[in-house]
Structure 1
């Protein structure tokens, strides 16, 4: 099964169908087992635990081995990413395996038969508690805040850094430098993350892969498929089979 929760600053997934070869992406990623320990390889090291957050741009591979688990791809410019980066610092990963995690596992298991968004929010709240972080809004430079609003509301017809730079009255190089300084990731990578969000929202609304890729301004459907494989560990086509998409916020 695949159940995807499309949140404003995170993509959460409950599934037993992940089989991701070694890869890396700029987003942080959280993995939570529902019962047995996870078995994940991070930077060539095999890790067994109930919960782990993999730092951005760190190589990792993971197979669910037909066992359900819950994972979150965390928006790189989100408050959650900002707080976790302070905990993880320069380490490749952070294991959270305290006694409270059992309740988080139980809440995650409830999602198997419960599509109510309140159940999802309860799990996210418990995960925040397990990680020792709070739900808060990160404060950015006004120009970066303006940029993030432009990107969130754009229709993806123009995705060039120079176009966004004009909108916030900065040179492309200065904007790229400032964005990376404030978020820790390249602006080009963030724009691609946003495109993937748009494409999956199109899939959620019933479009096929070709139309979804076009609406999100990917070069080709295969480009969209490659980004999806890298970011989520599964081919885009798999999300069209036995999948449940749930919007956590209104777009």
Structure 2
């Protein structure tokens, strides 16, 4: 039986008894990096084991390389060996990466252009991806992570992977009013602003601004601000700061609030992952 916390969310997958029971031994702690962009993010690393059945808000794309990934749809469905899988928003599923050399888990905001296209492609069902479907883009992602070792390279490779599956071209906001609003939001240092306040900054009515912002970014203002706060929290964790410091700096009430939000969006808490990938190590390296 899946253990749950006081909020009804699954406990940290890296530490659950489910992981030990499925693999027979405790898996190596998951270690890696986090990269985010508007409407999406990526966890990439090695180690980890089986994650108990759970669901979350974001669409999930999981890759296990070079092989060994197991994905289960539903609470009692069969565990399917695959190279990758697309999981719809709110769909119950579990994954096991214990036999993978490395794995990547991408989360896509369902209301973005890419998210809507992927939702239409899946039709509410988990889609299992073959090696042929991922040829080319997965090696490029690994090279960006292991060799190039920059967040920009990893982000580009991850977005190319999402684009290849969604058959969309990444959209970058270009409306000067939305760009001004985004710049204003970035200056708030983790504080969440009301739609009316942001609309006033760019001299639009709340209703008009809501429409323009969703059209340009693919998500409501509230969701966009949450993505930005989560991005800031994980970037702070990659620098080596503790969970409490990251939560405070990103505008969360405390570390428990940050953990609950991460579980809701991604199905895992920050404590399930050690930030010890090549991007994190490079970020922490002293300047020459």
TM-score, normalized by the shorter chain, greater than 0.5: yes
Q: TM-score, normalised by structure 1?
A: 0.72
Whether 1:51 and 2:84 are equivalent positions in the alignment is yes
Kept in 1: contact 2:149–2:279 (CA 8 A): no
Report the counterpart of residue 247 of structure 2 in structure 1.
213
More strand by share: 1
User: Partners of 1:153 and 1:245 in 2: how far apart?
Assistant: 29
Query: Does 2:235 match 1:201?
Result: yes
What CA deviation, in whole Å up to 9, does each residue of 1:31-70 have, x standing for no partner? Answer: 1221134413269866844333334x43233232523321
Q: Deviations over 1:58-83 (max 9, x none)?
A: 32332325233211123567xxx424
RMSD: 3.9
What are structure 2's unaligned runs of at least 5 residues?
1-29, 284-288
What's the secondary structure of 1:89's corresponding residue?
A: helix
Q: Does 1:73 align with 2:87?
A: no
Identify if the C-alpha distance between structure 1 residues 40 and 105 changes in structure 2 by more than 3 Å, giving closer, same or farther.
farther
In 1, Cα distance between equivalents of 2:87 and 2:189: 31
- Per-residue CA deviations over 1:171-204 (Å, capped at 9, x if unaligned) read 5455445545665544322221211111111222
What TM-score do you get using the length of structure 2 for normalisation?
0.65
- Asked if 1:14 is matched to 2:41, the reply is no
Are residues 1:243 and 2:265 paired? no
Cα distance in 2, alignment partners of residues 87 and 157 from structure 1: 31
Give, in whole Å, the separation in 2 of the partners of 1:182 and 1:148: 11
1:217 & 1:122 partners in 2: Cα distance? Answer: 28
Secondary structure in structure 1 of the residue aligned to 2:279: strand
Alignment length (residue pairs): 242
2:72 aligned partner = 40
Secondary structure, aligned partner of 2:277? strand
Does the 8 Å CA contact 1:156/1:216 hold for their aligned counterparts?
yes
